[in-house]
Amino acid sequence: MALLQSFLVCFVVVVAASLIPVSAQLTANFYDNVCPQALPTIRNVVQKAIKNEPRMGASLLRLHFHDCFVNGCDGSILLDDTSNFTGEKTGLPNLNSVRGFDIVDDIREAVDNACKTSVVSCADILAIAARDSVAILGGPFYQVLLGRRDARTASLSDANTNLPPPNFNLSQLLSIFQSHGLDLQDLIALSGGHTIGLARCTTFRDRIYNETNIDTQFAASKRQNCPVTGGDGNTEPLDSMTTRFDNQYFKDLLKFKGLLHSDQELFKGDGSASDQLVQKYSNDAVAFGSDFRASMIKMGNMKPLNGNNGEIRMNCRKIN
Ligand code: HEM
Ligand SMILES: *[C@@H]1O[C@H](CO)[C@@H](O)[C@H](O)[C@H]1NC(C)=O
Ligand SMILES: *[C@@H]1O[C@H](CO)[C@@H](O)[C@H](O)[C@H]1NC(C)=O
Ligand SMILES: *[C@@H]1O[C@H](CO)[C@@H](O)[C@H](O)[C@H]1NC(C)=O
């Protein structure tokens, strides 16, 4: 009996370890000994930035997403273009769109002062800043796993192909998430990130003028600030309670008030598995919170550089 039990335990451990080969190396307490002040220092800077501009929480969350989806969470999105280096910032999903780089610089400076040296990677700074932003805006808190190292490379072409554009349909969205080891539940839960932040007119113009699965009054009101031509950079909130991390995004989808085409793709009113998840999260904020937390950890564990791979970048904008 005891033998059978220990066999089963071994079996479970081996199976579990083989399912999570990379994430096993990230740990929640990675900086506890080398720099115990690291996490509170990051949180302070994030808190101040959000107090100054609530949208910054959304921008920091999105930076982590756009970092992770392009060859893993390795800080590659932070690298500036130079005459002999092409980064990811001019990729179509990033150009004139991702923001928050100055706050990342502020965090880098504050955390280096607190730690006396550069021990915290830029990739981890993004993971922690995203986690703290969500919690500060009223969302779930989770233990963020740490120990990622920073890439010495970036890929503009991968930034263009590995990030989902807003005109994607459900099967395209699902397949791009699956290519990152994420499933339908991850897609729906993580899209709930659109409970905070803004989008530019150019990303939803086609939807508010041409689509039929959209609330008529909602479309009319969005057209006020997003003309057929011009005003490309005008912004609108991604959900109707944009400064709070809650489940309003899903409630809006049920009313066909998704701002992006890709948002409304998740709920079509056809009773599909995707519809059912949207319905569930709209009814149950706690279920959304715990699934979002689990999916963020899963996304944050994608292909981290660790051990002696990569580096701890001293300036997040350039390789050492
Ligand atoms: C499912 C596929 C997704 C698509 C097609 C998509 C697309 C977009 C687009 C087009 C914008 C507006 C960009 C602009 O106006 O320049 C946006 C904003 C945003 N996205 Fe997503 N997104 C997706 C998934 C996610 C995920 C997984 C997260 C995070 C967990 C996320 C977080 C955000 C946030 C917070 C903003 C607002 C940023 C700000 O205000 O600065 N998105 N997204
Ligand atoms: C780019 O040029 C600078 C200055 O000449 C040099 O220090 C740096 O190593 C080069 N970077 C790469 C990636 O080749
Ligand atoms: C989604 O888009 C792809 C590419 O345009 C297309 O082949 C596919 O039929 C579309 N799927 C649905 C369900 O509309
Ligand atoms: C609406 O669709 C038509 C036909 O595809 C296209 O030519 C037009 O540019 C679209 N309008 C907007 C505002 O996107």
Query: Domain extents for the chain?
Result: 25-164, 182-298
Count the helices and strands in the chain (H runs, E runs). 14, 2
Q: Could you tell me which of 111, 102, 107 has the C-alpha nearest to residue 59?
A: 102
Residue nearest to atom 8 of ligand 1 (CA): 166
The pLDDT value given to residue 25 = 81
Q: Could you tell me which of 176, 142, 183 has the C-alpha nearest to residue 28?
A: 142
**Ligand 1, pocket-test mutation among 66, 133, 168, 194, most atoms within 8 A of CB:** 194
**Mean pLDDT, rounded, for 39-43:** 98
pLDDT confidence bin for 1, thresholds 50/70/90: very low
Which residues have CB under 8 Å from 192's CB, separation 6+? 247, 249, 250, 281, 288, 292
The pLDDT value given to residue 201 = 98
pLDDT at 18 over 50: no
pLDDT in tens, 199-225: 999 999 999 999 999 999 999 999 999
- Of 13-17, 242-246, 267-271, the one with minimum mean pLDDT is 13-17
10 Å Cβ neighbour count for 278?
Answer: 27
Cα angle 295, 296, 300 (rounded to 5 degrees) comes to: 120
Q: Would you call 199 helix, strand, or coil by DSSP?
A: strand
The pLDDT value given to residue 306 = 85
pLDDT at 23 over 50: no
Sign of the torsion angle spanned by Cα atoms 162, 314, 44, 52: negative
What percent of the chain has a predicted confidence (pLDDT) above 70? 92
Q: Does domain 182-298 have CATH number 1.10.420.10?
A: yes
- Alpha carbon distance 178, 187 (integer Å): 9
- What spacing in Å lies between the alpha carbon of 157 and ligand 3's midpoint? 23
Q: Could you tell me which of 195, 76, 189 has the C-alpha nearest to residue 134?
A: 195
**Mean pLDDT, rounded, for 190-197:** 98
Residues near ligand 3 (Cβ within 6 A): 169, 171-172
Which token pair is 147?
């120990």
pTM: 0.93
pLDDT confidence bin for 2, thresholds 50/70/90: very low
- Closest approach atom of ligand 1 to CA 296: 30
Q: Does domain 25-164 have CATH number 3.40.190.10?
A: no
Question: For residue 100, what are the CA distances in angstroms to 53, 57, 222, 236, 277?
Answer: 11, 9, 25, 18, 31
What is the residue-averaged pLDDT of the chain?
93
**Ligand 4, pocket-test mutation among 205, 209, 210, 223, most atoms within 8 A of CB:** 210
- What spacing in Å lies between the alpha carbon of 238 and ligand 3's midpoint? 24
- Alpha carbon distance 276, 283 (integer Å): 11
Which residues have CB under 8 Å from 74's CB, separation 6+? 67, 123, 148, 149, 150, 151, 303, 304, 305, 310
**Mean pLDDT, rounded, for 232-252:** 97
pLDDT in tens, 50-75: 999 999 999 999 999 999 999 999 99
H/E stretch holding 208 reads helix 201-210
The pLDDT value given to residue 316 = 98
pLDDT in tens, 123-182: 999 999 999 999 999 999 999 999 999 999 999 999 999 999 999 999 999 999 999 999
**Mean pLDDT, rounded, for 99-111:** 98
pLDDT at 3 over 50: no
pLDDT in tens, 284-317: 999 999 999 999 999 999 988 988 899 999 999 9
